[in-house]
């Protein structure tokens, strides 16, 4: 994964992860009752959107032929 992909995926993960965390764990967070399982769910709320956004960004770049890979060179020459 390149820096550009992370720059695209990180804001998406921050927004979506915050919304999911507030919806799913908000009451536990506010009550101060967030155990180990809750923390694990919070981590997943941010990791999954990051991975999905990264996958989308990478597949878009590959489809368009962006990058310095041999596959990208073949796509741009075709």
> 66 versus 4: which is more confidently predicted?
4
Whole-angstrom distance, CA of residue 37 vs CA of residue 73: 46
Q: Global pTM?
A: 0.71
What is the pLDDT averaged over residues 39-55?
95
pLDDT band at 67 (very low <50, low <70, confident <90, very high): low
DSSP structural state of residue 55:
H
pLDDT confidence tier of residue 50, bands split at 50, 70 and 90: very high
36-64 vs 70-77: helix crossing angle, rounded to 10: 40
Give domain limits for the chain. Answer: 3-65
């Amino acid at each position: 994964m390149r820096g550009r992909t992370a720059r695209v995926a990180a804001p998406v993960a921050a927004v979506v992860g915050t919304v999911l965390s507030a919806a799913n764990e908000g009451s536990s967070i506010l009550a101060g009752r967030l155990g180990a399982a809750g923390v694990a769910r919070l981590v997943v709320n941010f990791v999954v959107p990051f991975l999905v956004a990264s996958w989308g960004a990478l597949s878009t770049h590959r489809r368009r032929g962006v990058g310095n890979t041999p596959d990208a060179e073949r796509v741009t020459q075709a």
